[in-house]
Amino acid sequence: MIVTFTANPSLDRTVALPGPLERGEVQRAVSVRQESGGKGVNVSRALVASGLESLAVLPGADSDPVLAGLREHAVPFVPLPIDEPLRTNVALTEPGGVTTKINEPGPALDENQQEALIKLLVESSRGATWVVLAGSLPPGFPSDFYATAARRLRSSADGTAPRIAVDSSGLPLAAALTGGPEGMPDLLKPNAEELAELAAAAGFPPASGDELEADPAAAAAAAAAVVRSGVGAVLATLGSKGAVLVTADGAWLATHPPVAAVSTVGAGDSALAGYLLAHGRGAAPADCLRQAVAHGAAAASLPGSTVPAVNQTTPDAVTITALRKD
């Protein structure tokens, strides 16, 4: 089983526009969709859609629309009851897949609720193969919350501790690498911009996200610098350029033929789900990367934050290239 943890879940509303976004003008939407969201929630939705057992851990009132959406799609979840409503995020999509996101901050949770969330996560993760710590943190959370959660998961394990994946951004992502050996992730899933920030902190020469996205060899070298800091593996998504996977043993680039992009919302989350799906089936690292890119490409071709099932992906279309790590 794969457990996902989303401290700041959301109701994701996607508004599709008939043409380019025009600031200051009135535009009529072509369609509006809404899904239960947040990075961890999206990973669970994608795994369940492909027939894999997953459990989402998150805060939320029983009547909250986010939890109602999970019930509707038969996604198992364990909530920490809270009084305040969860946030709503809005994505504006233009033809061709250009996406503008407006994310609310989410409800603030006090220290007692933060501790209760970690205890709920630890209890719900017993026997799990992976735990995914994903997304932004609500207001008031310490930036090193994910490092703390990782240490608690490992110290509380009755037997073999679950592998831990982290997919976040900004300070929560950077601080996930500050928890020492017991808090270090087994897998990081940054995009190019996040990889550039992590690699610079690890001593890699400064580079922009655009530069890494345009140069997969440089992205692999940047990811290798992060791996040398103690992370087990880095799965870095590079938008339409594919993704790179770097471990202590190798580095690979995966590319997919161009797809007609509809919405990029949740594509990175689907890529992580594809990686975990293949890993759970015993696939080699390069083939885990293959399924990650196939999942991400399929998600980009679907409306809103719709996640693909594995039978909607085309891993045979993915090209894998071995890369140097330095």
Rounded to whole angstroms, the Cα distance separating 253 from 246 reads: 9
Both structure tokens of 6 = 């989303």
Rounded to whole angstroms, the Cα distance separating 71 from 227 reads: 38
User: Is pLDDT larger for residue 35 or for residue 159?
Assistant: 35
Confidence band for 262, pLDDT divided at 50, 70 and 90: confident
Report pLDDT digits (tens) over 41-86.
999 999 999 999 999 999 999 999 999 999 999 999 999 999 999 9
Rounded to whole angstroms, the Cα distance separating 289 from 303 reads: 23
How many angstroms separate the Cα of 185 from the Cα of each of 146, 147, 265, 317?
Answer: 9, 8, 24, 30
Please, what sign has the CA dihedral across residues 28, 31, 36, 37? Answer: negative
* The one catalytic residue among 215, 269, 316, 326: 269
Which runs of consecutive H residues, i.e. helices, occur in the chain?
A: 39-49, 65-72, 111-124, 145-155, 170-175, 192-201, 209-214, 216-228, 267-280, 285-300
- Arithmetic mean of pLDDT over the chain: 94
Report pLDDT digits (tens) over 125-173.
999 999 999 999 999 999 999 999 999 999 998 778 999 999 999 999 9
User: Residue 326's pLDDT is what?
Assistant: 66
> 242, 282 in Cβ contact below 8 A?
no
The pTM (predicted TM-score) of the whole model is 0.94
Write down the number of H helices and E strands in the chain: 10, 14
> 107, 8 in Cβ contact below 8 A?
no
Rounded to whole angstroms, the Cα distance separating 43 from 194 reads: 19
Which H or E element spans position 34?
A: strand 31-37
264: Cα separation from own chain's centroid: 13
> What is the length of the chain?
326
Rounded to whole angstroms, the Cα distance separating 52 from 109 reads: 31
User: Is pLDDT larger for residue 239 or for residue 117?
Assistant: 117
Is-catalytic flag, 186?
no
